[in-house]
Amino acid sequence: MNGGSILSDWLERLAGIQEQQGHKNGEYMTYCLSIMTHEGLVMASDSRTNAGSDDLNVARKMHTFLQPGERVFVILCSGSLSLSQSVINLLRASFDAGEGLAQANSMYEAAREVGEAVRQVSDLDRAALERDSYNFNVHLLLGGQVRGERPRTFLIYPQGNPLSSTEDSPFLQLGECKYGRPILDRGIVYESTSLKSAAKYALLSFDATMRSNVTVGPPIELLLYKNDSFSLDIYRKFRDKDPELETIHALWERSLRNAVEDLPDLSFDRHPAHDSQPVLL
């Protein structure tokens, strides 16, 4: 076996080990995002479920529930695909039967319904998973509106408890959060960011994440919900090599480089052994 073949074989084995350990530790590659503004909600998710040296699976992580004129819910999922599918199946069955989310009188009650479905799946599967050293890992973002109150978003943890976004902290993230967070921290302001601008921030947050972590990737689903519309008709799926997504990526990188060049030059002291005035490079 030549050196190239040995290296290739070693990389494939390492990727397989890392993927298997990731599943056991509950570290699944994904990025999901919700943004709450004064005009409505932005919900966005990638579609990649695992990645190795030559393996890539795609599954939808955005799920919608609608009663026209009464209530609308969007759920984004991260973690174990089998667990999140079980949760969604339970929620869908009860919703279609006119129960659960279909009867929630507020977004908080809806978040509690989602949490209860998570706990049901936990009762069914957690013990068997942990016997084989797999973590019970499922996180969900819930966004939507129930008639009579404003739209809200919640993060639901594996224990079933919900965390609400606020006007001071108007966005929530799941999965690979760190790369896409800085632009949201700098740009999203509940009172002044428009829904259209929030959608751009969401895409740029995904662009930063995909630029730094290849395990997050398209298709990207993007849904905008306008206050009191009780409809889900502003939706876009960005597939790999989408021309608009590539244009935004190129323009954003060029704008960043130009912005850095336009910053004032830095001043530097001479060697610290000498007493002198700073010089400007």
Question: Which tens digit of pLDDT belongs to each residue from 30-88?
Answer: 899 999 999 999 999 998 665 444 445 667 899 999 999 999 999 999 988 889 999 99
Q: Give the residues across from 43 on adjacent strands.
A: 34, 223
The model's pTM is 0.83
CA distance 162 to 156: 4
Q: For residues 80 and 156, what is the distance between their CA atoms, to the nearest angstrom?
A: 14
Alpha-carbon distance of 226 to 236, in angstroms, equals: 15
Q: What letter represents residue 165's amino acid?
A: S
Alpha carbon 261 to chain centroid, angstroms: 31
Phi-psi region of 228 (alpha: psi -120 to 50; beta: other; left: phi over 0): left
**pLDDT at residue 14 greater than cutoff 80:** no
Question: pLDDT band for position 169 (50/70/90)?
Answer: very high
Torsion angle (degrees, nearest 10) of CA 173, 176, 182, 183: -70
Residue linked to tokens 């919640």 = 154
Reference 37, options 148, 131, 166, 126; nearest CA is 166
The more confidently predicted of residues 60 and 27 is 60
pLDDT of residue 129: 87
Q: How confident is the model at residue 20 (pLDDT cuts 50, 70, 90)?
A: very low
Task: Compute the average pLDDT of residues 9-23.
Answer: 40
Secondary element (H or E) of residue 65: strand 62-67
At residue 192, the pLDDT reads 97
Lowest pLDDT segment from 36-40, 61-65, 104-108, 271-275: 271-275
Average pLDDT over residues 240-266: 93
Q: What is the pLDDT of residues 211-248, one digit of tens each?
A: 888 778 789 999 999 999 999 999 999 998 999 999 99
What is the structure's pLDDT at 279? 59
CA torsion sign for 252, 256, 261, 263 is positive
